[in-house]
A and B are shown apart, each in its own frame.
Chain A
Amino acid sequence: MSEPRITQALPELVREGILSAEQAERIRVRYAPDALQGGGRLLLVFAILGSLLVGLGILLIIAHNWDDLSRGTRTALAFVPVLLGQGLVWYGMLRKPEVTAWREGSAVMLACGLCACVSLIAQIHHIGGALDGYLLTCSLLILPLLYLPGSFCVSLIYLAMITWYAWIVRFEHFSGSDRPWWFIPLLLAALPYYLREARRIGTSTVFWWLSLFMALSVGFGSQLFYADWSQAHALGVVALAGAFTLVPWLHGRSGMRTWPWVLVGGATMLITFCVFSFRPTWEGMDGEERVDWPLIAAFTTIGIIAYILSSRVRRPFEQWPYPEGSALFLISFIVGTFSPALAAILMNIALLVLGVFTVKHGTERGSLRRMNLGLTILSATIFMRFFDSDLNFVVRGLLFIGVGVGFLFMNLRMVRQRNKQGHAA
């Protein structure tokens, strides 16, 4: 049942005696902001989509270059989308400060206008330069729109843009000494906006998306400062991923939609574990490369601090086992320095532990999604071993059947359990 429907059903539930008037009022207050916004939601979507399409259309028209127009005319035209966007933002702030559709639509239009303006100036004057320079300039220009008028859509564009910029700087000049240093202040500049939105609309779907973009931006961006990649770098990745999975315990506010941090951290950890469950990954560990150790140590410290802080409100393995996964990886890494085979075995055990705990949490909470995630981890671990073992086809076939039966059995069991609980209620 969607949230507005809950508030619509309240009078009936009170009449039937299912809810007291007081409880109904509390529910109404809980969902009031969403219900208020509900009417304008469609308008908001169309305003954003419309602005985005118009903005991108302007970019494409400008990309044509219009050689027949004089330099002066083209230069004047370059500023038209910016002035139009600024006018709309100004009008929205002055006359429609409470209308989200105005705020988002006009800000998106201005962001596109600014990008188009920089493009056109570069065209007119044949300014060279790579894409990273362009993205950096545009990011700096649209940054104020996160605060004035305070646009959620522009914040997503901004986070995507700075992450793209960091990626290009790192991978276009990988063998050089270039690092995306600008990414750090650019990300920090968006942090007050994120924290403000967490306080303001932390329980909304909008904040879920903002959290997802923030988690992806921090996650990707933080890994682009290494000089090289070796097995040791996975320590930093896993430690930071572990810290991500602890975010819901760190803010201490229930109902805040910080789940995307867990999603990004958990997925990163599972992928890393899967990669390191193969023995060849551990072979050839090189202790020579020491240049990135301070950075790896910094990420590990962040992971440890996050774990200590969260341990005040979280028991080990509570909700999900990923934070403990970082410790398992650290143990495997130490073992891997003298025995790659043993480290690979430990990683497989770690994956099985993660799978079992996820299934356990899923069944305890009646969550089919989580239980199936646990089963997927378990079966993926088994299937991966097909690649580095000489099992014959019959054994492989039996294993497939076993895993399939396990999935069916666990799901049927949970559905039956749910049905029983439903009837009992």
Chain B
Amino acid sequence: MPRRVILFLFVAAAQLAVPAWMLVGHERVRKDGAVFLFRTAPVDPRDPFRGEYVRLNFEAQQGSWTAPDAGTMEYGQRNAFALLDTDSLGYARITALVDHAPDNGPYLPIRYWTMGDEGTVNSLELPFDRYYLEEGDGPKTEALLAPDWSSGSPSTPLPAHAVVRILHGQAVITDLVVGERSIHDWLKDPPKEASPAATSVLTGS
């Protein structure tokens, strides 16, 4: 067998190893990670390569935290680690931002913007921001969570949260729950009278 062909076999193995490694890491988090619920409001965009998804805008991203490097900040983007806890209702919340990954307790790597020497962070980016759906389900999901204006005044949208497993700073979204039901159940079995918003959207009216 020519040397080039043997070399290609190594290349092929490396090419397979990269996506496989992505899989292994995520499966480990999915299996062993601690469960956190992140309150969210999805919107529907598309990725040119990866298809349709709902972008998740989490409540936990907004707040007021002391910046880990307060006093030495310039305008720009910074990386840090968010320490996690749950509130009285069982939803995830960020308790503090730190420079280095903690030895114990759940945490996530995050990014935030500094606007000058303010020392306070009010908004940050979590390492997960999307939930992929089958083609056509993105707009339905977004509309399901939007307020309904048909009666003249806005209805309250259904509450939603993402189920996220977290292990050693790695996170995997395992489900998107809307009004106590998985989004997949909503899309497979749209209720007739569940809520004005849900009914109008899922029947396409």
Seen from chain A, the residues whose Cβ lies within 8 Å of a Cβ on chain B are 59, 62-68, 75, 78-79, 82-83, 86, 89-90, 93-94, 97, 110, 114-115, 117-119, 121-128, 131, 134, 137, 140-141, 144, 148-149, 173, 175-178
A82 to B50 Cα, complex, angstroms:
16
Contact B52–A65 (Cβ < 8 Å): yes
Q: Is B137 an interface residue (CB 8 A)?
A: yes
A126 to B170 Cα, complex, angstroms:
13
Contact B5–A93 (Cβ < 8 Å): yes
Contact B137–A128 (Cβ < 8 Å): no
A263 to B155 Cα, complex, angstroms:
61
User: Which residues of chain A are near B11, meaning CB under 8 Å?
Assistant: 144, 148
User: Which residues of chain A are near B30, meaning CB under 8 Å?
Assistant: 125
Q: Known: A63-B50, A144-B11, A177-B76. Contact between A137 and B130, CB under 8 A?
A: no
Q: Which residue of the partner chain, among B22, B51, B75, contacts A62 with CB atoms under 8 Å?
A: B51
User: Which residues of chain B are near A144, meaning CB under 8 Å?
Assistant: 11, 14-15
Contact B26–A119 (Cβ < 8 Å): no
A327 to B29 Cα, complex, angstroms:
60
Contact B77–A128 (Cβ < 8 Å): no
Q: B177 → chain A, closest Cβ, in Å? A: 14
Contact B173–A63 (Cβ < 8 Å): no
Q: A130 → chain B, closest Cβ, in Å? A: 9
Q: Which residue of the partner chain, among A94, A127, A140, contacts B1 with CB atoms under 8 Å?
A: A94
Which residue on B lies nearest to A94, using beta carbons? Answer: B5
Q: Which residue of the partner chain, among A86, A94, A117, contacts B19 with CB atoms under 8 Å?
A: A117
Contact A119–B5 (Cβ < 8 Å): no
User: Beyond the given A127-B26, A127-B128, A141-B18, could you list 7 further A-B residue pairs with CB under 8 A, ordered by the A residue number?
Assistant: A59-B49, A65-B134, A79-B16, A89-B8, A97-B2, A175-B75, A175-B76
Which residue on A lies nearest to B171, using beta carbons? Answer: A128
Q: Is B47 an interface residue (CB 8 A)?
A: yes
Give the residues from 23 to 54 in chain B that come closer than 8 angstroms, CB to CB, to chain A: 23, 26, 30, 47-53
Which residue on A lies nearest to B132, using beta carbons? Answer: A123
Contact A149–B50 (Cβ < 8 Å): no
Give the residues from 71 to 114 in chain B that come closer than 8 angstroms, CB to CB, to chain A: 75-77
Which residue on B lies nearest to A97, using beta carbons? Answer: B2
Q: B139 → chain A, closest Cβ, in Å? A: 14
Q: B53 → chain A, closest Cβ, in Å? A: 8
Contact B76–A128 (Cβ < 8 Å): no
A373 to B12 Cα, complex, angstroms:
49
A317 to B55 Cα, complex, angstroms:
57
User: Which residues of chain A are near B14, meaning CB under 8 Å?
Assistant: 144
A134 to B53 Cα, complex, angstroms:
16
User: Which residues of chain A are near B53, meaning CB under 8 Å?
Assistant: 123, 126
The 7 closest A-B pairs by CB, nearest first: A63-B51, A67-B134, A128-B129, A176-B77, A123-B132, A125-B26, A126-B173
